[in-house]
Amino acid sequence: MNKSLITNVIATVLVITGFLFNQAIVLSIGLFALSGAVTNLLAVHMLFEKVPLLYGSGVIQLKFAGFKVAIKNLILTEFFSEQKISQLLGNKTMDIDLQPVINDVDLNPAFDTLLEVIEQSQFGSMLAMFGGSAAVEPMRDSFIAKMRDSLITMSQTDEFKMLVNNKLAKTSLASDSLFTTVSDLVDDRLDELTPKMVKDIIQTMIREHLGWLVVWGGVFGGLFGLVAAII
C-alpha cells in the first residue's frame, strides 16, 4: 500500500470537491492537506536525489564519503577479529567463507550512522517534528537484515575470494602487517561501493517507513486548513 499516493489522492479529491461544489471549508482542508503531503513527499525524495536549485538535496550522496568510512570502520572492528585474521593468514589458499562472521556481527552501528547522517542533514529538522530518530527506528531490523544479506552476497563472489587470497599471498605473517592487509582489502572492496548501491540498499526501507511523514503532513495540513477556514 502506497501511503503517500493515497494521502495525495485524498487531498486532491478534497480540493476538487471543494472547488466544484463551492465548499470553502472542504477546499481549504484539501489545499492545506495537499500542501503538507507534497512538501513532505518532496523532502523524502530530496533525501536520495539531488533537486536543482534546492540546497541540501541528495543528502545520501552528499554524505556518502562519511558513510563509507563508517562502514569501513565497522568492518575493521567487527568483521575481522584478531582470531579471524590469524586464521585467514594461516590458510592462504582456503575457500574463504565469511558468512558465519557476518552473521555474528552487530550491524546496529551501521544503522546508527545512517540515523546520524539523516539527523545532521537538512531533513533532520523535519524529521524532528515527527518524533526524531524514533520515527525511523522501526526500520532498524529491516535495514540490518538487508545490509547483512548484501554483505554475505558480496563476500561469496569469486572476485571477492580471489581478492582476499591475492592479498594474503602477498602478505607476510608479521603481526604489524595484519591491520594493513585487512585495511587494504576493505579499501579495495569499498572502492566498488557507489552511492547508488548504498541508496538501493536503504531506499526501499526508508521510503516505506518515512511514508508516514507524508501521511501526517497531509493530516496536520488538513487540520490547519480547517482552522484557517473557520477563523
Q: Which position has the grid cell 554475505? A: 152
Domain match, 90 and 188 both? yes
Kindly indicate the confidence band of residue 100, based on its pLDDT and cuts at 50, 70 and 90. confident
Domains of the chain: total: 2
- Could you list the residue range(s) of the whole structural domain that residue 161 is in? 59-208
Q: Smallest Cα–Cα separation from 136: which of 68, 70, 207?
A: 207
Grid cell in block for residue 145: 537484515
Domain match, 40 and 73 both? no
Domain match, 65 and 106 both? yes
Integer Cα distance of 173 and 102 in angstroms: 24
Q: Per residue in 30-63, pLDDT tens?
A: 999 999 999 888 887 787 788 888 877 887 777 7
Integer Cα distance of 161 and 185 in angstroms: 11
- List the helix and strand counts (H, then E) for the chain: 12, 0
Q: Residue 162 burial (CB < 10 Å; 0-12/13-18/19+)?
A: exposed
pTM of the model: 0.54
Domain match, 133 and 192 both? yes
Grid cell in block for residue 229: 477556514
